[in-house]
Amino acid sequence: MCAVLSSNEDLPIAQNVCFAAEVGLTGEIRPVNRIEQRISEAQKLGFEKIYISSYNLKGLDIKQFKIDVIAVSKMEDVFAKLFG
């Protein structure tokens, strides 16, 4: 979704940003499995920010990661934080 919007609006997404979530038909950001592993891997690969579903925050200690974890619940939130 972000890649499509980025291309359509001619706004680049920074190379140090990644995403680990699913998008529902109404724009809600859905959680994914094994979020800790995904964040750790993104950190190892050199990403500085990762966008995840706010539902994945339950039971997750984001302070253990050196990557900036950004929790969002709607696509509007992603767009505002990413391009705003």
> Higher pLDDT residue, 83 or 56?
56
Q: What is the mean pLDDT of residues 40-49?
A: 98
Output the pLDDT for position 84.
83
Sorting pLDDT into bands at 50, 70 and 90, what band is 45?
Answer: very high
Per residue in 7-34, pLDDT (tens digit) is 998 999 999 999 999 999 999 999 999 9
- Residue by residue, DSSP assigns 30-47 as EP-S-HHHHHHHHHHTT-
Fold of 2-83: Ribosomal Protein S5; domain 2 (3.30.230)
